[in-house]
Amino acid sequence: MASSEQARQVVLTEDQFTTRPYSAGEEGIVATVQVPSNQVWMTAPGQPIELALVSKQTTTVDENTADQTVTLDPEAPMVDYLDDPTAGEYTGNAYIVGYFDSTGDGTPDTQITGSSTVQFNGTFSEDGDFVTSFEVDDTSGDAGTKDCEFYVVQRYGISTIQKRSAGAGNVSQSLKSEDSVRYAFASPNDPSADRQVTWDATMGGMRGILPPKYSLDIVFYDNTEGVALDSDRADNLTIALPVKQRGLKDDEDPGDLRRKVANSMTEL
């Protein structure tokens, strides 16, 4: 529990967010988290942000056939801060994660690794910093094609982080808006790269404050491409937003605070 006087910095991650479905062509909230009723949050100016939204791509593979090419559309950005399947890292945290239907029940829910029945054979085609296609082998002897799903970091579209007031007639304000590919190629962990995407330094004032019951949303937009964060298997969805949290002070009225922040948002 945050103490009432001292703010501490925490990183909001994907498991704290509620995800929502998205269809291409709309500007929609795809993930959201609400400030608890007894806390105040503030964005941490200058701190790096990680954001990798994933789309779902489906294909079928033939039984007992090696070297089957899966072409990605759109292609997958090779994200520095996720595991690299081209280096043999076939984990749930890679920028391409695959599942196949092992039981024939129509749900591809068995992860594809280097040794699963449908497996990566290690061949990946790259174009610059993107993976365009790769190969899988099906080592099973049973008849029938298998449905596969691949969760791939989305390179297209704009991803906006916004705060939103609670209740009817709510207002929202953008806190950070970048092309998805910029978040994908941000490098928060490499000391020699200056490719960080950070909270703007201007966020120190009222703009960065989220009073109790406000929401912090991830909003996605693209005209033709979608994201699929609401799937149980979108394990490689990555959200890491550094925020400062503190408890509500004794002399603070949450309603006053909300009104003050809402007024500052509508003045813009």
Partner 1 sequence: MSGDKLSTELKWSIDETSVPDVPSPVQRWDVPDGANVTVRSGVVAIADFQTADPNTGPSGTSADPSRSTRLALGYKEPNDPLGAWTVFTQEQRIAPFNDLSLKDQQSSENAQNRVITFDPEEVGSGSLTLEDADEIALLVIGPDEIDGADSQFAIPMEFNNG
Give the binding site for partner 1 (CB under 8 A). 27, 77-78, 128-129, 156-158, 174, 176-182, 185-187, 193-195, 200, 202, 221-223, 268
Nearer to partner 1, 182 or 249 (CB): 182
Instruction: Report in angstroms how near the CB of residue 144 gets to partner 1 at its nearest.
Output: 36
- State in angstroms the smallest separation of the CB of 178 from partner 1: 7
DSSP string, 11-57: EEEGGGSEE----TTSEEEEEEEE--TTEEEEE-TT-B-EEE-EEEE
**Which tokens is 202 given?**
């201007």
> How near is the Cβ of 257 to partner 1 at its closest, in Å?
22
CA dist 24 and 180 (Å) reads 14
Q: Bridge partners of 127?
A: 130
**Neighbour count for residue 198 (Cβ, 10 Å):** 17
- Least separation in angstroms between CB 73 and partner 1: 11
| Smallest gap from residue 77 Cβ to partner 1 (A) | 8
Within 10 angstroms of residue 266's Cβ, the number of other Cβ atoms is 9
Two tokens, residue 97: 């994660």
Burial zone of 51 (CB within 10 Å; 0-12 exposed, 13-18 middle, 19+ buried): buried
Q: What is the DSSP string of 167-225?
A: STT--EEEEEEEEHHHHHT--TT-TT-----B--GGGGSGGGEE-TT-EEEEEEE-SS-
Q: Measured from the CB atom, is 122 or 185 closer to partner 1?
A: 185
State the minimum distance, in angstroms, from the CB of residue 128 to partner 1. Answer: 4
- 8 A C-beta contact, residue 86 and residue 131: yes
Question: Which CB atom, from 120 or from 220, has the smaller least distance to partner 1?
Answer: 220
Q: Which is nearer to partner 1, 149 or 225 (CB)?
A: 225
The C-alpha atoms of residue 216 and residue 213 are separated, in whole angstroms, by: 10
How near is the Cβ of 43 to partner 1 at its closest, in Å?
12
Name the residue nearer to partner 1 (CB basis): 35 or 79: 79
**Residue 166, SS3 per DSSP:** coil
Name the one residue in this structure whose structure tokens are 């406000």. Answer: 214
Q: Which is nearer to partner 1, 203 or 239 (CB)?
A: 203
Of 204 and 247, the one with the shorter C-beta distance to partner 1 is: 204
